[in-house]
């Protein structure tokens, strides 16, 4: 009986919707650099070159 109750709770939790919010904080001296492999998240068409400051329209400055 106890096993049955635990199983039901697991099934209910496993189909529940999950939500997440992620923030990445960067220093004001950050620069773009090329590295091998896939970035996460992807930023296709960003137009930045190695050594350039990050775009403020994509990475806003907070005070």
DSSP string, 1-63: -HHHHHHHHHHHHHTS-----------TT-B----SS--SS--TT----TTPBPPTTTS----
Mean pLDDT for the chain overall: 76
DSSP SS3 for 11: helix
Say if pTM beats, i.e. exceeds, 0.85: no
pLDDT tens across 38-60, in order? 877 778 888 889 999 988 888 88
pLDDT at res. 24 = 81
């Amino acid at each position: 009986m106890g096993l049955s109750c635990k199983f039901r709770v697991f099934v209910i939790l496993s189909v529940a919707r999950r939500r997440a919010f992620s923030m990445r904080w960067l220093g004001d001296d950050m620069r773009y650099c090329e590295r091998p492999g896939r970035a996460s998240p992807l930023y296709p068409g960003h137009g930045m070159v190695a050594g350039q400051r990050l775009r403020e329209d994509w990475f806003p400055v907070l005070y």
